């Protein structure tokens, strides 16, 4: 059966199905290689990210030897979690650095970390790690809402393999759509 349609003067059902299948494969490839959506749950990244927002976690930034940078907001799997729950946190410490926490403020290699993104300072309701020497493949992650975040201060650093990508866009709700800046501490 032939019909006249948007794909040309004469298009068969098979041809339409072929194009739809190609579109599905391309969309799946984009989600696999470029970005995947992640629903924000909890208050650990407030005030910058809120419960119910959906962010796109893009993977291209970290392909090959591209480095994870301080200040990046990343999706990482929770260490020691058999379900491999994905969290978003901010990168504070990089491989080989010493991260110190004094009075709720971070220092990197004995230099105070100036954070240029919004944070909620304070002490969480658990015992924090005070000093961590990161190994060659480890990163120290923290939530922006310091008293309300379970992060590397509690469960230690994550490895590069745990980091799944960088938060690049907030895509939901529509009033919150925005690009996620790569805010680098000074």
Query: What residues make up the domain containing 34?
Result: 2-179
Is residue 10 pLDDT above 90, yes or no? no
184 domain-assigned: no
Which residues are catalytically annotated? 44, 89
| 103: CATH | 2.10.109.10
Please provide the DSSP assignment of 85-142 as one string. Answer: -EEEEEEEE-TT-EEEEETTEEEETTEEPPP-S--B-S--SSPPP-EEE--TTEEEEE
101 domain-assigned: yes
**Which pLDDT tens digit goes with each residue over 98-148?**
999 877 789 999 999 988 888 877 777 777 777 899 999 999 999 998 888
66 domain-assigned: yes
Residue 62 gets which letter from DSSP?
G
The CA distance from 162 to 78, in Å, is 8
- Model confidence, pTM: 0.79
With left for phi above 0 and alpha for psi between -120 and 50, is residue 29 left, alpha or beta? alpha
Q: What is the mean pLDDT of residues 139-158?
A: 89
186 domain-assigned: no
Domain count within the chain? 1
SS3 assignment, position 61 = helix
95 domain-assigned: yes
98 domain-assigned: yes
**Which pLDDT tens digit goes with each residue over 20-51?**
888 887 777 666 666 788 899 989 898 889 99
Q: pLDDT grade, residue 186 (50/70/90)?
A: very low
**Residue 112 bridge partners (DSSP):** 107
131 domain-assigned: yes
149 domain-assigned: yes
């Amino acid at each position: 059966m032939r019909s006249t349609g948007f794909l040309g003067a004469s298009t068969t059902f098979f041809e339409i199905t072929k194009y739809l299948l190609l579109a599905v494969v391309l969309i799946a490839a984009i989600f696999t290689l470029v970005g995947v959506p992640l629903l924000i749950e909890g208050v650990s990244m407030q005030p910058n990210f809120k419960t119910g927002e959906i962010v796109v976690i893009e993977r291209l930034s970290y392909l090959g030897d591209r480095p994870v940078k301080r200040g990046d907001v990343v999706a990482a799997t929770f260490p020691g979690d058999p379900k491999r729950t994905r969290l978003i946190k901010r990168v504070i410490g990089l491989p080989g650095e010493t991260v110190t926490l004094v009075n709720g403020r971070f220092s990197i290699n004995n230099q105070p970390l100036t954070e240029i993104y919004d944070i909620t300072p304070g002490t969480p309701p658990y015992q924090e790690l005070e000093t961590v020497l990161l190994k060659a493949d480890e990163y120290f992650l923290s939530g922006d809402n310091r008293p309300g975040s379970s992060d590397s201060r509690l469960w230690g650093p994550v490895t590069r393999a745990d980091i799944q990508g960088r938060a690049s866009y907030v895509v939901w709700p529509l009033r919150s759509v925005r690009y996620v800046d790569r805010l680098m501490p000074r």
